[in-house]
Amino acid sequence: MYKKLFMINIAVILLVTVVYIFGYYFINYPMKFDVWEMLKECKLQYLPAVFIVTALASYLVSSLDFKKLNFKSKFLSVFPFLNMLALAFFIYIAAEGFIKNKRELTKQENYYIIEAQKDIKKDQIVMRYAGGFFLPIADQTTIKKIDSIRKKYGIISQNTGCTIDPIDRKAQEKYSELTDPYLENRNGKDWNERMKKEIDGLKKIKNPGIK
């Protein structure tokens, strides 16, 4: 009997651990699914505290006199039950985070779909990038020339800032799904490489040391 109860406890502990780790992915959806990253970021060091609390509560409950069971039997029965409650809590938190982020993602995707349709009609596809300007010398004349090259290919650039929102970045894929075929149809195959070559050529003229 003890062996069976012991195995149940081990199984429940492992299940709680797995849900705790993978719950980090659902709470932070749509982050990239990376087990090693989840292990590093899920604050696994706090999980033993959960088991300590459930063990302490199980000890207190098992100290009560009921069902004419000995302490060991009561503890091995109560401990997995309380851990299952902890498991249910972790599942709830993960599900709540996932549903919230999924709704926000859908909202953002719908926004970018509408924006893509508008930009295609205007023949001005937005190329979004994070961070500052990439030229060593960002003079206005060079910037205007680069903008002119992009405009020729139906592109305008937009700096989204240094903060990267994973939901917004994922939602932008919907924008690309609609605009990429349009740009290829407009500019021909490998248009992006040709545009990049023109911009790189301009950078070399402005900064001869760049290779």
Question: Which of 43, 70, 103 is where one domain is finished?
Answer: 103
Whether 131 contacts 159, CB under 8 Å: yes
Domains identified in the chain, total number: 2
- pLDDT value for 70: 87
Do 132 and 167 lie in a common domain?
A: yes
Residue 135 pLDDT grade (very low, low, confident, very high; cuts 50, 70, 90):
very low
Do 88 and 127 lie in a common domain?
A: no
- CA-nearest of 154, 200, 165, 141 to 29 is 165
DSSP state of 93: H
Q: Domain of 177?
A: 123-206
Do 12 and 50 lie in a common domain?
A: yes
Asked if residue 109 belongs to a domain, the reply is no
Do 69 and 155 lie in a common domain?
A: no
Whether 187 contacts 198, CB under 8 Å: no
How many CB atoms are located within 10 Å of the residue 12 CB?
Answer: 19
Asked if residue 112 belongs to a domain, the reply is no
Over residues 79-127, the pLDDT tens digits come to 999 999 999 999 999 999 999 999 999 999 999 999 999 999 999 999 8
Count of residues in the chain: 211
Give phi and psi for 37, each to the nearest 5: -65, -40
- Residue 70: which residues within 8 A CB-CB, separation 6 or more? none
- The beta strand positions in the chain, using DSSP E, are 125-129, 155-159
Do 16 and 88 lie in a common domain?
A: yes
Do 142 and 189 lie in a common domain?
A: yes
Do 128 and 98 lie in a common domain?
A: no
Do 74 and 162 lie in a common domain?
A: no
Type of residue at 2: Y
